[in-house]
Amino acid sequence: MSGEYLAFLALALVAIIGGVLMLNLSKVVHMVIALVFTFISIAGLYVLLSAEFVAAVQVLIYSGAITIIMLFGIMLTRHREEDKEKTTTGGFWRKALTAISVFAFGAAVYLGVYQLDFGENAARLHEKNAEQIGTALYSHYIIPFEIISVILLVALVGAIILAKKDDGEAQKK
Amino acid sequence: MSMHTLLRYEWGVMTPEFIIIGTALILSLVDLLMPDDKDRRPLAWIAFVGVAIAFVATIGLIPAETTSILHDTFRLDAFGKAFKLLLLAGGALSLLLAFDYRPKEGLKHRGEFSYLMLCALLGAMIVTSSGDLITLFVGLELLSISSYILVGLRKTSVQANEAALKYVINGGISTAMTLFGMSYIFGLTGTTNIKEIAVEAQKLTDGEYQYILALAFLLLFVGLAFKISTVPFHMWTPDVYQGAPTPVTAFLSVVSKTAGFAIVLRLLITIFAAAPARGKDTSSMLLSMQDYIAFLAGATMIVGNIVALKQRSMKRLLAYSSIAHAGYVLVGFAAMSWVMIDSIWFYLLAYLLMNFGAFAILQRMSDEADSDDISRFAGLYQRSPLLAVAMGVFLLSLAGIPGTAGFIAKWNIFLGALMTEPGHYVLAAVMIATTVISYVYYFGIFVQIFFRPAAETSSLRLPIGLTLIVVVCALGTLLFGVVPGLAYHFLGQFEHFGDFLQ
CA-closest candidate to residue B120, choices B146, B98, B97, B148 = B146
Question: Which secondary-structure segment (H or E) carries B74?
Answer: strand B74-76
Task: List phi, psi (to 5°) of A27.
Answer: -95, 140
pLDDT band at A173 (very low <50, low <70, confident <90, very high): very low
Kindly determine whether residue B212 and residue A139, on different chains, have CB atoms separated by under 8 Å: no
Alpha-carbon separation of residue A147 from B21, B143, B205, B224 (angstroms): 10, 11, 36, 20
Whether residue B392 has pLDDT greater than 50: yes
- Which residues in chain B touch residue A140, judged by CB atoms under 8 angstroms apart? 70-71, 73
State the pLDDT at residue B429: 93
Residue spans per domain, chain A: 1-77, 130-164
pLDDT band at B51 (very low <50, low <70, confident <90, very high): very high
Q: How many Cα atoms occupy the beta-carbon half-sphere of A129 within 13 Å?
A: 16
- Which residues in chain A touch residue B138, judged by CB atoms under 8 angstroms apart? 144, 147-148, 151
Kindly determine whether residue B119 and residue A166, on different chains, have CB atoms separated by under 8 Å: no
3-state secondary structure of B155: coil
Average pLDDT over residues A22-40: 90
Taking the CA of residue B360 and the nearest CA in chain A, the distance in Å comes to 26
Alpha-carbon separation of residue B458 from A25, B314, B382 (angstroms): 58, 21, 9
- Ranking B2-6, B84-88, B287-291, B356-360 by mean pLDDT, the lowest is B2-6
Whether residue A172 has pLDDT greater than 60: no
Rg (C-alpha) for chain A, rounded Å, is 22
Closest Cβ opposite residue A162 in set B21, B139, B152: B152
- Which residues in chain B touch residue A112, judged by CB atoms under 8 angstroms apart? 208, 211-212, 215
State the pLDDT at residue B37: 80
Whether residue A86 has pLDDT greater than 60: no
Of B29 and B36, the structure prediction assigns the larger pLDDT to: B29
CB-based contact A172:B43 (threshold 8 Å): no
Find the residue in A nearest to B24 (Cα): A150
- Which residues in chain A touch residue B122, judged by CB atoms under 8 angstroms apart? 147, 150
How far is B37 from B159, CA to CA, in rounded Å?
A: 28
> Tell me: the pLDDT tens digits for B231-249?
888 889 999 999 999 999 9
- Which residues in chain A touch residue B141, judged by CB atoms under 8 angstroms apart? 151
Kindly determine whether residue A116 and residue B212, on different chains, have CB atoms separated by under 8 Å: yes
- Which residues in chain B touch residue A158, judged by CB atoms under 8 angstroms apart? 116, 145-146, 148-149
How far is B80 from B283, CA to CA, in rounded Å?
A: 27
Contacts of residue A63, defined as CB under 8 A and 6 or more positions apart, other chains included, come to A36, A39, A40, A43
CB-based contact B466:B360 (threshold 8 Å): yes
Torsion, CA A136, CA A141, CA A144, CA A148, rounded to 10 = 30
Contacts of residue B53, defined as CB under 8 A and 6 or more positions apart, other chains included, come to B19
CA-closest candidate to residue B272, choices B343, B329, B218 = B218
Closest Cβ opposite residue B116 in set A112, A154, A166: A154
> CATH classification of A1-77, choosing from 3.40.140.10, 2.30.30.100, 3.40.50.300, 1.20.120.1200?
1.20.120.1200
Whether residue B304 has pLDDT greater than 50: yes
Find the residue in A nearest to B215 (Cα): A109
> Tell me: the pLDDT tens digits for A156-167?
999 998 888 766
The rounded mean pLDDT for chain A is 85
pLDDT band at A113 (very low <50, low <70, confident <90, very high): confident
Identify residues of A whose CB sits under 8 angstroms from chain B CBs: 108-109, 111-113, 115-118, 138-144, 147-148, 150-151, 153-155, 157-158, 161-162, 166
How far is A57 from A42, CA to CA, in rounded Å?
A: 11
State the pLDDT at residue B438: 94
Contacts of residue B142, defined as CB under 8 A and 6 or more positions apart, other chains included, come to A147, A150, A151, A154, B119, B120, B122, B123, B126
Closest Cβ opposite residue B122 in set A116, A141, A150: A150
- Which residues in chain A touch residue B139, judged by CB atoms under 8 angstroms apart? 147
CA-closest candidate to residue B496, choices B347, B350, B344 = B344
Percent of chain B residues topping a pLDDT of 70: 99
Average pLDDT over residues B437-452: 91
Kindly determine whether residue A158 and residue B116, on different chains, have CB atoms separated by under 8 Å: yes
- Ranking A79-83, A106-110, A142-146, B204-208 by mean pLDDT, the lowest is A79-83
Whether residue A82 has pLDDT greater than 60: no
CB-based contact B195:B183 (threshold 8 Å): no
Kindly determine whether residue A166 and residue B155, on different chains, have CB atoms separated by under 8 Å: yes
Cite the beta strand spans of B269-398 per DSSP E. Answer: none
Average pLDDT over residues B84-104: 91
How far is A148 from B138, CA to CA, in rounded Å?
A: 7
Percent of chain A residues topping a pLDDT of 90: 43
Q: How many Cα atoms occupy the beta-carbon half-sphere of B403 within 13 Å?
A: 7
Average pLDDT over residues B69-98: 92
How far is A26 from A75, CA to CA, in rounded Å?
A: 16
The rounded mean pLDDT for chain B is 90
Whether residue A171 has pLDDT greater than 80: no
Residue spans per domain, chain B: 289-502
3-state secondary structure of B134: helix
Cβ-Cβ pairs closer than 8 A, A with B, add up to 85
Taking the CA of residue B139 and the nearest CA in chain A, the distance in Å comes to 7
Whether residue B136 has pLDDT greater than 80: yes
Closest Cβ opposite residue B73 in set A113, A143, A161: A143
Total-model pTM: 0.93
3-state secondary structure of B452: coil
Kindly determine whether residue A154 and residue B212, on different chains, have CB atoms separated by under 8 Å: no
How far is B401 from B439, CA to CA, in rounded Å?
A: 9
pLDDT band at A127 (very low <50, low <70, confident <90, very high): confident
pLDDT band at B175 (very low <50, low <70, confident <90, very high): very high
- Which residues in chain B touch residue A138, judged by CB atoms under 8 angstroms apart? 1
Kindly determine whether residue A154 and residue B142, on different chains, have CB atoms separated by under 8 Å: yes
Assembly ipTM: 0.89
